[in-house]
Amino acid sequence: MPLEALTVDQLDEKALLARIFPRLGPTTALVGPGDDAAVIAAPDGRMVISIDTLVQDADFRLLWPSGYRTTGFVVGWKCAAQNLSDISAMGAVPTSLVVSLTLPGRTEVAWVEDLATGLAAGVQSLTLNAGRCSVVGGDLGRGSQIVVTAAVTGDLEGRAPVLRSGARPGDVLAHSGALGAAAAGLAVLESSLDYSIVREEENQVLAGLVASQNRPHPPVHLGPQAATAGATAMLDVSDGLVRDAGRIARASGVAIDLDAGYLTSRAEVLAPAAARLGADPLAWVLGGGEDHGLLATFPPDAVLPEGFVRIGDVAAGEGVTVGGQAPSTIGWDHFAG
């Protein structure tokens, strides 16, 4: 008979932390985990800071309709990725991450250990390019569901922050990273497809899309490069291309027109998966979030950093259009019914 899994309510806080800390990796802080607060350097004299939350059954499910079981590693990685991307979108370099973790007592300790490993892996991943960053502290609490909240700091390294409000008529709109892949992966997870079969298929397209949802790879290194190249406005695409382009348009008092031909070509890549799920791939490209790519505007004569692709134009006016027409989808709203 297999032994029952050790759960959080069978350990005290000290014992649980003793299982978490070794998995977080080396700290880049002047004073790291173990005291009431961390101490981090601010050589620029300014500090960029952001915070984001992942809530069970709102931002992830432990068990999806497809049968996929979410690991702690996936939640940890995603927490790191979405926070690092927000700092990059300001043109800054991530420097520290502080994590607050709320856990039901029935949560398996192995799941929590896996989350710590995923956090560290996300921060330390070469693909996320956050070498100056580490998890420097946090908090543990008990609750009815799993909630992971992280605050991340960043260093502008002497650059001016890139805001959403700087786009000007005549600028070009450019994007880096994935478009629609995470939304497609979410559709697979929420579908009636049996994930155990999807995972074993010779063609791993659907499983790859699930990986895009669970382990996004935002181009963190490109935010500072975009700032250096003269980006006039920038943000992280977390709630869908149209919605987030609209945020730049409103903040800057301009109109943005997205290149319909380019976006259609991106949708064509997702068409086989969409056909299997009975979905519209263009809706994933226009309205799907959680890819955490970067959307930025640049002066017309700017040389775009490698990895950015021109996907539209900025003009006088207001709102967002696709090829001059109203978009067919808007994007994600946390509080929409």
Give the pLDDT score at 332: 56
Identify the weakest region by mean pLDDT among 40-49, 118-127, 220-229, 288-297.
118-127
pLDDT above 50 (res 281): yes
Give the pLDDT score at 32: 86
pLDDT band at 3 (very low <50, low <70, confident <90, very high): low
Give the helix ranges, DSSP H, for 107-178.
109-124
For range 67-74, the mean pLDDT: 98
Give the pLDDT score at 195: 94
Strand, helix or coil for residue 227: helix
pLDDT above 90 (res 191): yes
pLDDT band at 34 (very low <50, low <70, confident <90, very high): confident
Give the pLDDT score at 328: 81
pLDDT above 70 (res 137): yes
**Mean model confidence pLDDT for the chain:** 93
How many other β-carbons are positioned within 10 Å of the β-carbon of residue 32? 19
Count of H helices and E strands in the chain?
A: 10, 10
For the whole model, what pTM was predicted? Answer: 0.93
HSE at residue 313, side-chain half, CA atoms within 13 A, is 11
Give the pLDDT score at 335: 45
For range 108-121, the mean pLDDT: 96
Give the pLDDT score at 256: 98
Give the pLDDT score at 181: 98
| Structure confidence by residue, pLDDT tens digits, 265-278 | 999 999 999 999 99
pLDDT above 50 (res 178): yes
Give the pLDDT score at 166: 98
Q: What separation in angstroms does the CA of 57 have from each of 194, 209, 227, 277?
A: 20, 20, 36, 22
CB environment 203-242: b (16+ within 10 A), e (fewer): eeebbebbbbbbbbbbbbbbbbbbbebbbbbbbbbbbbbb
Residues 6+ apart with CB under 8 A from 65: 189, 190, 191, 192
For range 187-198, the mean pLDDT: 95
pLDDT above 90 (res 27): no
Closest CA to 309 of 268, 265, 246: 265
